[in-house]
Amino acid sequence: MQRSQSLDESGRDLNRRWRFSLSTDPINVEHKFNDSVAVDGEAAAGLIRLSRRIRRDALRVACEIPSQTMEQEPTRHILGARPASLRMSVVVPTYNRATLLACCLRSLEAQTLDKDAYEVFVVDDGSEDNTPEICRAFAQGATMRMTYVRGSHRGPAGARNLGIAEAGGEIVAFIDDDCAASEDWLEQISAPFRDPIVAGVEGKVLRHPDCTPFTHFVENLSGGLFLTANIAYRRDTLKALGGFDEIYPHAAAEDWDLAFRVREHGGMIAFQPDAIVVHAPVPVGGRHFVDRVKERRSAVMLYRRFPRHWQATTGRTMRRSFAEGIFLGPFVEVRKWRGYFLTHSSKLPRFLMWKFLASARLLVEYVRLRPVEPT
């Protein structure tokens, strides 16, 4: 398993004072910067020495340790010994989504599974917001075992791999930072693992009722999509296969890649409809539709590696997938959101404009990539 690279040194960050105050709600955090006040020379030198000393690994902070300023030397050890009853490890990769992450952590804290039976790793993929403070504040009032791990910006696949490397549970569950789990999620998603032939379990992903055509979300209602928003694998399986492949240029194919490799090695991935997470409505601009076309580059790479698995999962060839997106994409989306546009007709022209631009960009990607069908 590839380890995280060290963090870059930043004199600007080292010369900032970080402060936060806590209220009765551990998520209600006041995060302030004061650029006009620098740390004294001795403290700054200590921070620089610390940064150099941890070059070979990612910066790891055990969230359970209360801290009043970020200037204190971070702890490099997970607190205490793991309980003997530990069964599951939950990995939450995150990047600049502190508010959404707080909702996700609250749902994990509310799990009905015994607190000694699971641990949570928040893997920060180099966030520039107040994610560290959110985690510290949450951990002060949490009853679950939670560890904050900070790595360099390697993408969600790399962040998940860092979590896998630290996991101590026999089962490693994954949830995205913009999702909230039902209170019995861990109990439900772990149940099928009683069958020794089961290597992985995917759960149901529902979209939030407030989702609109102008929000980002994912859904998995009947299985077969292997979304990392709600899936779990045996730790031994993940270790044997090397975790998630980090070669994909856009975070859109590493989840299917892992699932296909599990299946190629004879592993069974079951679907547990009672293991439910809800995807939050993440607002996006029209440009988002065009930018997401770049994910097809990862999809084509995946198709070249696993053409049969890809066709079995999608029910179509890559060429057909491109053709449908280019010629039918905007109309399919409008039909999907017909109820919304009946009451928000003024937003339809803008939606169609961006969807047609996305289709044009998809045509360019098809010419550029020229996906070849297997013989």
| pLDDT value of position 368 | 87
Residue 27 within any structural domain of the chain = yes
Residue 188 within any structural domain of the chain = yes
Asked whether 124 and 95 are in contact (CB, 8 A), the reply is: yes
CA dihedral 20, 21, 22, 26 (to 10 degrees): -30
**304 in the same domain as 274:** no
Residue 5 within any structural domain of the chain = no
**274 in the same domain as 291:** no
Residue 374 within any structural domain of the chain = no
Residue 23 within any structural domain of the chain = yes
Q: Where is the domain boundary, 283, 313, 347?
A: 283
**111 in the same domain as 77:** yes
| pLDDT value of position 47 | 35
Q: Where is the domain boundary, 283, 309, 332?
A: 283
DSSP string, 10-44: -HHHHT-EEEEEE-SSTT-EEEEEETTSPPPHHHH
**216 in the same domain as 155:** yes
Per-residue pLDDT of 134-148, as tens digits, reads 998 888 888 899 999
| pLDDT value of position 139 | 85
**294 in the same domain as 169:** no
Asked whether 301 and 368 are in contact (CB, 8 A), the reply is: no
| pLDDT value of position 326 | 93
The per-residue b/e assignment along 200-227, b for 16 or more CB within 10 angstroms, e otherwise, is bbbbbbbbeeebbbbbebbebeebebbb
Residue 243 within any structural domain of the chain = yes
**185 in the same domain as 100:** yes
Domain limits for position 237: 11-283
Residue 19 CA to residue 30 CA, distance in Å, equals 8
**354 in the same domain as 234:** no
Total structural domains within the chain: 2
**279 in the same domain as 309:** no
Residue 244 within any structural domain of the chain = yes
Q: Give the number of C-alpha atoms closer than 13 A to the C-alpha of residue 223, restricted to the C-beta side.
A: 13
**302 in the same domain as 251:** no
Residue 166 within any structural domain of the chain = yes
**302 in the same domain as 180:** no
Per-residue pLDDT of 287-298, as tens digits, reads 999 999 999 999
Residue 316 in tokens: 């179509």
| pLDDT value of position 2 | 40
CATH number, domain with residue 22: 3.90.550.10
Q: Where is the domain boundary, 239, 254, 283?
A: 283
Q: Name the pTM for this structure.
A: 0.77
| pLDDT value of position 82 | 64
Enumerate residue ranges in the chain where pLDDT < 70: 1-83, 372, 375
| pLDDT value of position 342 | 95
**155 in the same domain as 295:** no
| pLDDT value of position 318 | 93
**299 in the same domain as 260:** no
